[in-house]
A and B are shown apart, each in its own frame.
Chain A
């Protein structure tokens, strides 16, 4: 079972190098620079050797280069296993293989390794664009295989691609069946230590000025699709995590203070929605305001944070129900004390400010209102580029510069409330989001990151207070515009005053994002849960593994049968209509016992038939004459073939000769 070993042409050598180069190219961006340079060096070496064969490395040089490649990889990663080092090693080995392709056998190995390299890209980038790119590379590689398997080269460059296209289209139904049915594991087979990549997002330690940095990123944090009516912009607070403790500079949660008690609210939430979360390497999940239940059985902590056991390392889809109106009276022992703790660097003027409000207010609620109006009336500026407060951020912000971003307002408000004896906590998350009409969902980007507070009031429980809204209510109602002025300039807001160009641009962007979310939902996010619910819909969830396998084989066999049928039919010649008609005529005569001999021409046959059945002379000679004219006559009129068919149809000879 061997293939005759045709040698490869120079063109095929060049093509395999180029295709493999395309397959490997995206990796040069995330392997360390020395490895990238090494890969490029090998590639250039290969191209040079194809042009000037004297540069083709000999056996020993190849062995040395291979050794060098392994050492280089090891020096960069200090290991050869695991995802990143494995990919580094694979790319180096593949390029070395390309360098030594001589025979057909080598070319096959190179193409197969390229196939493998293609799927390793998905560990780093699962976007639609990348998938399309890699799919094209896969088609190129396959077309190359087709090209080397024929004897004469194709007449056009397009031809092997057309043939690959046909085979690929026929393979797609099989791929879809397997994709949907093939069981997914929720745990990896073995842990290969998936490294975390530096994704932007909120972290569990917040220093004022950090969110302002996030604001520069238009990266998508998550998307939300509502099943019920979506709340208004000023109600869309996406809760991420709650922060309790501070040292006067940063805000964080002390490990010993975190009470890992979780609860499940059984209340009815009026908002039901699905969240498509991008990987953010943290355990908390974003949910609207007060999450009450989730299909996925995530834990809900006492401060109403939805949590997962594992950090979110891959994009994740989950369903939540939330409420924005329900009173939040959850309180645990020690919780209120913790919400009153103050750092050491509280200054005298802070105490004095709060004392003034206390004197004028009758209830804690009024103190809150006084504080908010303080932010409103004093010349506070809401800016994306606040000055850096190094010594005592809250104090400097409150009394000296009075320029800040949401986190400055939220942290200082929290501290002031705690001074006033009102338990207050800091909430980090996102606010607002951009609506995509095409896909009917919201896109929440990093620049929507926000910080607000929750105060404890005896009569209403935890109450959301957003001091930023007091200073810059537009921040809450409208999107921040994503361009940045000079330091200290007031933030600008994006109002719906875009021109035609702007709105159609946004429409296009929304279309792209919609395609992206569908991609996410159905391809990347397809999970064990989806699989089970799909199977349940078809009533397949009670099947044994054996039945299961049989169904899979059956589902693959059906498209295969169709392909086989198509292949067999596509090559078959359609006989001319006059031949079909004449054959039918012969069959009718054969039923009378006058079957046509293989050597008999139509004329001889007609003569013999008339000899046996003189009563049929007229129709037989008419049909035969017309057939001969159509088949062999010059400039035969093709419309006549219909007439022939009609005459044959009307030819209904009786079984017996009349009169006998």
Chain B
């Protein structure tokens, strides 16, 4: 039996806390595992040596000191166990990331009891998150950064809440499944010029207020106008807030189109589209997007970008996983 198959075999017995209706987990008495740490084993060996020494020299005080430390060793099991018992983990939020970036899962750690808890660490396999002390009846944010591998929905894997408090002799942990997933956008490809379908609409009035080439006039300020557009001189003349409007004599409409991408591999196409969206946002040029089964009308700004990127992230997997 290999190590990993042994691990899988063991896994079927392990107790783990399932998320409740709020998506969080409360640590129950029976879901806590506890084993001695390296330090705990070392102390056990030292205690054994102390016992042998005490027996050999017939030292009653030596016996007493050894047994007292032994008692502390055993009692610590309960304290470590108690340090975890009753804690609650609740999902908070996680910001979307590009594939390959670290997703910062933010949960809240709640201590609903009257006991202070110390050195509670959140981790997932070898990835360590925050360690923190949490006073009684408090709620603190706790972060676990995990590297996202591929685009799509990155569900928070099974995590471990662990502690070695008070003496570091025992290691108590519990497995928890939390309902929290991170949207992972495709990894942006290298920079390049987007192959676009350009449609020009020539008009005498140009594209009033949409382009950015020539000054075409003023209009009253509307909420949402950029401060760069505001005619501060007019404002200084006490004419009220006026927005400057720019426009060209032709309107260039860019559509980022799946079908126009020369590469065939879908993931590669998604990466390129992702990069183009970022470039358009940088240039502040409006863009529309067309991918199989979905077309998004022209627009600009973070809301529009998120809409497009989410569509890319979930392309082809959205229906299957949702």
Binding site for B on A (CB under 8 A): 1-4, 6, 83, 105, 108-109, 112-113, 115-116, 118-120, 122-123, 126, 131, 134-135, 138, 142, 145-146, 148-152, 163, 167-168, 170-176, 178-179, 182, 184-185, 188-190, 192, 194, 314, 523-526, 556, 560, 563-564, 567-568, 570-573
Contacts and interface: CB of A to CB of B under 8 A. Distances in A.
Contacts of B64: 175, 179, 523
Contacts of A126: 59-61
Contact of A572 (B55, B113, B167): B113
Contacts of A172: 68, 71
A113 B37 CA distance: 18
A131 B166 contact: no
A142 B72 contact: yes
A573 B42 contact: no
Interface stretch (B76-84, B239-247, B254-262): B76-84
Nearest to A178: B67
Contacts of B67: 174-176, 178-179, 182
Contact of A179 (B57, B63, B75, B167): B63
Interface string B103-140: 00000000011110011010000001001110011000
Contact of B85 (A83, A185, A568): A568
Given A122-B62, A151-B132, A564 B78 contact: yes
Given A138-B65, A171-B71, A175-B67, A188 B46 contact: no
Q: Which 5 A-B pairs have the closest CB atoms?
A: A171-B71, A174-B71, A571-B115, A571-B113, A178-B67
Nearest to B115: A571
Nearest to A565: B78
A4 B121 contact: yes
A188 B55 CA distance: 7
Given A2-B38, A146-B167, A150-B119, 11 more contacts: A1-B37, A115-B65, A119-B59, A122-B65, A126-B60, A148-B168, A189-B55, A523-B60, A563-B75, A567-B82, A573-B137
A138 B76 CA distance: 16
B42 A182 contact: no
B33 to A, nearest CB: 10
B291 interface: no
Given A2-B37, A189-B56, A119 B62 contact: yes
A188 B168 CA distance: 34
Contacts of A120: 53
Contacts of B53: 116, 119-120
A171 B68 contact: yes
Name the prevailing secondary structure of the B interface residues. Answer: helix
B171 interface: yes
B178 to A, nearest CB: 21
B147 interface: no
A167 B119 contact: no
A120 B62 CA distance: 8
Contacts of A179: 60, 63-64, 67
Contacts of B167: 142, 145-146, 149, 167
28 contacts: A3-B164, A3-B168, A109-B42, A112-B42, A115-B50, A119-B59, A119-B66, A120-B53, A145-B167, A149-B119, A149-B164, A149-B165, A149-B166, A149-B168, A167-B72, A171-B68, A171-B71, A171-B74, A174-B71, A175-B70, A189-B52, A314-B58, A524-B60, A524-B61, A525-B60, A560-B75, A571-B115, A571-B136
B82 A178 contact: no
B61 A523 contact: yes
B76 to A, nearest CB: 7
Contacts of B78: 560, 563-564, 567
B234 interface: no
Nearest to A570: B115
A176 B167 CA distance: 22
Interface in B12-56: 29, 35-39, 42-43, 46, 49-50, 52-56
